Chains A and B, each alone.
Chain A
Amino acid sequence: MTRDRSVDERISAWLLEEAPDQVPDRVLQATFERTRPSRQRRAFLGWRFPMYRITPTAIAVGAAAILVIAVGVTQLPRPNQSVGGGPGPWPSASSTPAPTTRPTPSLAPISLTGQIAFERTVDGNTDIYLMNLDRTGLVRLTDDPAQDTRPGWSPDGQRLVFTRGGSGEETDVYVMNADGTGVTALTDTPEVEQGPVFSPDGSEIAFTRYVDPTFFDLYVTGADGSDERRVYHREGPWLSWPAW
């Protein structure tokens, strides 16, 4: 026991020495920037884009995406339903509610139609929005008091999958048409579903499910919610955001 206590003390001392003393101010500032419900924030795409993650690979993927977008915009135009009326320019910075968005979790977040889907928080409520890459045609696709997050495109650009509920609490997987109609719940559980993503042929959707932070299951379901099946189970908190 004496030896065990000694080991305990050595571990505690080591952890105390290793732990940083202070959280950098920028972390809290960035947090408050994202959570303040009524202050004006930067009206760019709203992506939180950590500079340290910019890699040559990311740059190459970005360049390829821009090329795809250019082709998509010229070849596959599509009319939009605009927020508060017909299509119009991106609102000015002074009148734009602060967007708090994160990148779409899909590796190809931009649809074949040259539009981008993203989550946006206004007055504490997060919904799914759509807009053209020239910042026109802003469309609010969902309008629900729950948090609608993490939109992901179907391969044909006709549908979106997303999560509704919240983060860290009960969330379910939903799909809808790219114009915001046909919102359908694919799951209805008290558990947390995360990271839904369409299969390459668009017929299925993979997502993770957990009840607590340490037991994760990987599920696949048909794109219509049928034939849900668990394909992987692990004990451990590090299973999330599947990809095909």
Chain B
Amino acid sequence: MQRDVVEAARGGDHEAFEALAMAAGDRLFAIASLILRDRQRAEDAVQEALVHAWRELPRLRDPDRFDAWLHRLLVNSCADEGRHQRRWSTEVRMIRSEPSTEDGATSLADRDQLERGFRRLKPEQRVVVVLHFYVGLPVPEIADTLGIPLGTVKSRLHYAMATLRAALDADARETVATNGQTA
């Protein structure tokens, strides 16, 4: 079904392109927001990725690879937006405006530690983490999407996980220490 729409859009059917863009918009915005940690820049990244997609669609060889291709364009756009963020680690903003609550799937402590850990990740590591844990892409598919070696993806994921695990472990140690002091 999507293949037909992609082929129509590739042939210059703008309504088909709009349908594709609307179908992918929420997902792209979520990915860009998570990578950039900045809602406004994420909006720009999504817009640029979609504009590029429209321009480059005639060059897309395999319509079945549209989603992967679009993800790659989005990562490129995030890269362009990232150049405006001179200091990644200090410009991180929380996207959610509502207060965190303990009844969610993630505890307040986890949120805080994961935010800190994520903040320490290199941009390319954030991309891999988001594609793997949010989009749900297997590692080989991430390599294929980004056009990089499988080992590179594994390496980035490994170091990203080590950073995030260390952040969570640090929280656990703090909790133990706190409990020890109060006991």
Contact = CB atoms under 8 A, between A and B. Distances in A.
B93 to A, nearest CB: 11
Given A17-B104, A19-B30, A168 B73 contact: yes
Given A213-B76, A213-B147, A22 B26 contact: yes
Interface in B139-183: 146-148, 152, 161, 164-165, 168
Contacts of B76: 167-168, 213, 237
Interface string B61-75: 000000000001101
A184 interface: no
Contacts of A64: none
B131 to A, nearest CB: 11
A147 interface: yes
A13 B105 contact: yes
Interface stretch (A23-31, A72-80, A223-231): A23-31
B129 A126 contact: no
A166 B60 CA distance: 12
A240 B39 contact: no
B146 to A, nearest CB: 6
Nearest to A19: B30
A85 to B, nearest CB: 29
Interface stretch (A4-12, A132-140, A198-206): A4-12
Interface of A: 4, 7-8, 10-24, 26-28, 30-32, 34-37, 50, 52, 100, 124, 126, 147, 166-169, 211-215, 235-241
B50 A238 contact: no
A157 to B, nearest CB: 26
Interface in B81-135: 82-83, 88, 95-96, 104-106, 110-111, 114, 122-124, 127, 129-130, 133-134
14 contacts: A13-B105, A14-B106, A17-B106, A19-B31, A19-B34, A27-B29, A35-B55, A169-B59, A212-B147, A213-B76, A213-B146, A214-B127, A239-B83, A240-B80
A20 to B, nearest CB: 5
Select the residue from A21, A32, A52 with max chain B CB neighbours within 10 A.
Answer: A32
B134 A12 contact: yes
B151 to A, nearest CB: 12
A15 B117 CA distance: 13
Given A37-B12, A52-B40, A236 B122 contact: yes
Contact of A20 (B39, B78, B88, B127): B39
Interface residues of B, number: 61
A18 B93 CA distance: 11
A15 B133 contact: yes
B6 interface: no
A237 B164 contact: no
B3 interface: no
B64 to A, nearest CB: 18
B110 A27 contact: no
Nearest to A167: B52
B129 A11 contact: yes
Given A16-B105, A18-B96, A213-B146, A50 B133 contact: no
B83 A241 contact: yes
A18 B95 contact: yes
